[in-house]
Structure 1
Amino acid sequence: MLCELQVSESVPVAAPTAAQQPITSVTITTDQVGDRVLLEGTVEWAPAGILTLPILALPLTLNLGVPGTFRIWRDAIGPGGTNIFETTDTSSLLNISLTSLVLPLTATLTFNPTTTNFHFVDQTAPPGPHTYFLTVDVPVGSSIVPSAFVFTAQEINPNPLI
């Protein structure tokens, strides 16, 4: 049993710029003022499919990674909930195939699977049941496929008074 936990964390939270893709959720009940909730997760993911780009002119700059912003929401996703945590990770390029070296050409991109780990302590959860939702958003025109995930929540009682 965990008897004491000291936490110092700073997590900037920004308004989502895209629709949140739900991954999973967990529900836990805090039973007293001062309880905290330790949230831990691991998501293995990769951009969905293969990205094909028609290239009509050079020079050209390509982003060779797809960023995914993972968020934890308390009680609901979006305006009805509280965005308590977020982190961004990027899937790197696995390979690029070019069909010719004469314009126009087509570039086909495939990406590596990426494993994103995080932990966060919700220090402001009021007493009562809470559902925590894990979501991800990616740039417009992209999507991801989570191939495996773990998301846990643990109630931590207030530290004892000394």
Structure 2
Amino acid sequence: MMNCVSHFPFRLNRVLARSLTIATLSTLGLLTGVAPNLSGQSSHFFDTAVHAQEESAFTRYVRAAFEIEKTRRSLLDQVKQLTGGNVPSNVCQSSSLAQVPSNVRDQVKGICDNFSSQAKSIVQDKYKLSRDEFNNFQRQSQNPDMKSRIESEIRTLNLR
């Protein structure tokens, strides 16, 4: 019995070493995008896993639009602070920007540029929508049925 106990730490270390090796290789595979393709078809970066887990374009649009709106509100608060609360509608359009006091106009323009950059990144990089896809959903969002569908999706996704 003593013999089994003395080998136990060795066996445990061997099992842990194997597990650690497998975990390390799996992690490296995930990070580098290298994974075996067991389907027999040619594939790029986790093609089958991505398709299985990918959200619909509509769901990605809702997530993107929601995140953009949160960003817009935050940046609008910054503009309100700079302008003393007097913010022209569509402040980022050049005709409206001209109405902003000249002493803060460059700062407001910077906030507008920042918003534009963030919105583009949210849509294209984070949620993988083309500009046309996003704008198409955006146009449809004025339709009462689509508005209802968007609100339902926001509740389903539990966005806040």
Settle same-fold status: TM greater than 0.5.
no
What TM-score do the two structures reach when normalised by structure 2?
0.20
More strand by share: 1
What TM-score do the two structures reach when normalised by structure 1?
0.20
Which one has more relative contact order, counting CA pairs under 8 Å at least 6 apart?
1
More helix by share: 2
